[in-house]
Amino acid sequence: MEKAHHLYQRLHALPMSRDAYGLIHMDLHPWNFFYHDGEIVPFDFDDCLYSWFIADIATALYYITHIRRYFRNPKIGLTI
């Protein structure tokens, strides 16, 4: 509990300025966006919430690492 409390305090000490905090998608993975004319166009906004913008980047990176493992699975037969 002490570690959780310490982490909670550190998170809530992060800046919440307009440049760092606001409404985010929070579920940004390849099945929730299109790539069109050089831009990422997200859709499926049912998980939106207010948080730090970096959370959207972290979520996308998380999915990228797992998707690569999924498509390397020999049972599926695809490689990316």
* Digit-coded pLDDT (tens) for 13-36: 989 999 999 999 999 887 888 889
CB 42 within 8 A of CB 25: yes
- Give SS3 for 8: helix
Per-residue model confidence (pLDDT) at position 35: 84
The number of C-alpha atoms within 13 Å of 11 and in the hemisphere containing its C-beta is 10
At 74 the pLDDT is 60
Q: At 75, is the pLDDT very low, low, confident or very high (cuts 50, 70, 90)?
A: low
Rounded distance, CA 52 to CA 45, Å?
16
Query: Taking the complete model, does pTM exceed 0.85, yes or no?
Result: no
What per-residue confidence (pLDDT) applies to 7?
92
